[in-house]
Amino acid sequence: MNLTERFIKYVGFDTQSDEDGKNCPSTQKQMIFAQFLYEELTKIGLEEVKLDKNGYLYATLPSNINKEVPTIGFISHMDTSPDCSGKDVRPRIIKGYKGGDIKLSKDMVLSPTKFPELLNHIGEDIIVTDGHTLLGADDKAGVSEIIQAMIYLMEHPEIKHGKIRIAFTPDEEIGKGADLFDVESFGCQWAYTVDGGEVGELEYENFNAAYAKIHINGCSVHPGYAKGKMINAGNIATEIVQMLPQDERPETTEGYQGFYHLTSIKGGCEQADLSIIIRDHDSKKFENRKQVVTDIVNRINTKYGDNTAELDLKDQYYNMCEKVKPMMYVIDIAKNAMIKAGVTPQIKAIRGGTDGAQLSFRGLTCPNIFTGGLNFHGPYEYCVIQSMEKAQMTIVNICEEVANVNFK
């Protein structure tokens, strides 16, 4: 099985996570995929293959070198985003993309007019959806690339490397992927998440992240006699959304600009619920953003009465930059590995987060490298085969680079 075949096989598994799930993994279908991968890794010949009760999968490629070198790891997540269906994914390969529009379905077109990055891949082979689901490159491309890299190293014993650990996690898309990760038994000096996008991306800065869940208690009264009595929870929900800064949304920001993002709104007159995610690279601005949401809820309760709006505000992860900077050699190794794979490194800040952000704060420094997928979390998602192959070889080259560096 080659890399493309492996990826297409893996996206056939529906592994959406669920932010309302009470267990880990948040959906049982993630465990089904994890069990499948457990069998795959065992058949491939990796050692110390372990799947724990929470859906975390670990394995080892032993060292083939007669000297002591750092143990490093590679991590990807098995779940796909709750934002778009991951069931019955039907991928299609556009061979030798010639430019122009790609028709996904009767009513949906992947166009360089809206997604100009497509034009960077003229002449390459692109895997797309049929417009009804996401593709699942986030992060089954990463899973596929890590496994294929391990196979490549086993098939090429002339490439010398130290002990390599790999891990696949559940629930990354709902901010819980690193919660129960066993950092101690993983036993790595550092690791890389393989969860980036465009070819060449190398990231060690990410958002500080929090979520705000707001429950609104209304008062339902017959509308014919509602004056001065009704409190419409649905109306208050929309009022709260409008009180957020309107020019600080994902669709109006870029680079290092933070945002507030409404991910869910539901309810009616009696009760309503809002889910909002809060993001900023700057820690002070991040704290200010959380205060804005808190102040809005307080204003609503002043206006409509105590406990009209109930706020659940929690941090999810923090900017890994401060943990990576003392170990910048891990970035230099990745850069050299990319160049060797024919890739120009593109160091940029993640407008999102990875398991690596949380793991870096738990003692496992963990920057992020590209997978070759783009337009994650929706039906316009696609993945470039040649970029995936370069990601695989970047992993291989990192393993070789670490064995050749003098750390004394």
pLDDT at res. 226: 86
Q: Contact 370/189 with Cβ under 8 angstroms?
A: no
Label each residue of the chain as H, E or C: CCHHHHHHHHCCCCCECCCCCCCCCCCHHHHHHHHHHHHHHHHHCCEEEEECCCCCEEEEECCCCCCCCCCEEEEEECCECCCCCCCCCCCEEECCCCCCCEEEECCEEECCCCCHHHHHHCCCCEEECCCCCCCCHHHHHHHHHHHHHHHHHHHCCCCCCCCEEEEEECCHHHCCCCCCCCHHHHCCCEEEEECCCCCCEEEEECCEEEEEEEEEECECCCHHHCCCCCECHHHHHHHHHHHCCCCCCHHHCCCCCCEEEEEEEEECCCEEEEEEEEEECCHHHHHHHHHHHHHHHHHHHHHHCCCCEEEEEEEEECCCHHHHHHHCHHHHHHHHHHHHCCCCCEEEECCCCCHHHHHHHCCCCCCEECCCEECCCCCCCEEEHHHHHHHHHHHHHHHHHHHHCCCC
Q: What is the pLDDT of residues 59-99, one digit of tens each?
A: 999 999 999 999 999 999 999 999 999 999 999 999 999 99
The CATH number covering residue 397 comes to 3.40.630.10
Per the DSSP assignment, residues forming a β-bridge with 312 are 213
- Mean pLDDT for 374-387 is 96
Each residue's pLDDT tens digit, 200-223: 999 999 999 999 999 999 999 889
Closest to 199 in 3D by CA, of 382, 404, 15: 382
pLDDT digits (tens, 9 = 90+) for 232-280: 999 999 999 999 999 999 999 999 999 999 999 999 999 999 999 999 9
Same domain? 38 vs 58: yes
Task: State whether 170 and 312 are in the same domain.
Answer: no
Of 125, 139, 171, 172, catalytic: 172
Question: What is the overall mean pLDDT for the chain?
Answer: 95
Rounded-to-10 torsion of CA 240, 246, 249, 251: 130
Annotated active-site residue 172? The verdict is yes
- Tell me, yes or no, whether 24 and 78 share the same domain: yes
Q: 367: which residues sit within 8 A by CB, 6+ positions away?
A: 192, 193, 202, 203, 204, 320, 324, 330, 331, 334, 356
When pLDDT is averaged across residues 338-347 and rounded to a whole number, the result is 97
The boundaries of the domain holding residue 124 are 3-206+319-404
The predicted pLDDT at position 111 comes to 96
Q: Are residues 200 and 280 in the same domain?
A: no
Residues 64 and 116 in one domain: yes
Asked if 34 and 161 sit in the same domain, the reply is yes
pLDDT at res. 407: 66
Q: Which of 276, 302, 317 is the last residue of a domain?
A: 317
299, 317, 335 — which closes off a domain? 317
Taking residues 37-66, report their average pLDDT.
Answer: 97
**What is the radius of gyration, based on Cα positions, of the chain?**
23
Based on the residue annotation, tell me whether 247 is a catalytic residue of this protein: no
- Cα(198)–Cα(202) distance, rounded to whole angstroms? 10
Asked if residue 135 lies in contact with residue 127, where contact means CB atoms within 8 angstroms, the answer is yes
Q: Which of 14, 40, 79, 205 is catalytic?
A: 79
Clarify whether residues 279 and 324 are in a common domain.
Answer: no
Residues 100 and 194 in one domain: yes
Based on the fold, state whether residues 15 and 120 are members of the same structural domain: yes
Query: Which of 287, 317, 347 represents a domain boundary (last residue)?
Result: 317
Tell me: do 157 and 41 sit in the same domain. yes
Judgement on whether residues 42 and 148 belong to the same structural domain of the protein = yes
pLDDT at 299 over 70: yes
pLDDT of 282 > 70? The answer is: yes
Structure confidence by residue, pLDDT tens digits, 93-124: 999 999 999 999 988 999 999 999 999 999 99
What residue type is 243 in one-letter code? M
Q: What is the pLDDT of residues 152-181, one digit of tens each?
A: 999 999 999 999 999 999 999 988 889 999
Of the chain, the percentage scoring pLDDT greater than 90 comes to: 91
Residue 141 has pLDDT above 80, yes or no: yes
Is the model's pLDDT at 53 over the cut of 70? yes
Based on the domain organization, do 150 and 50 belong to the same domain?
Answer: yes
Other CB atoms within 10 A of residue 62 CB: 12
Q: How far apart are CA 70 and CA 406, in angstroms?
A: 10
In the chain, the number of structural domains is: 2
Domain with 242 in it: what CATH number?
Answer: 3.30.70.360
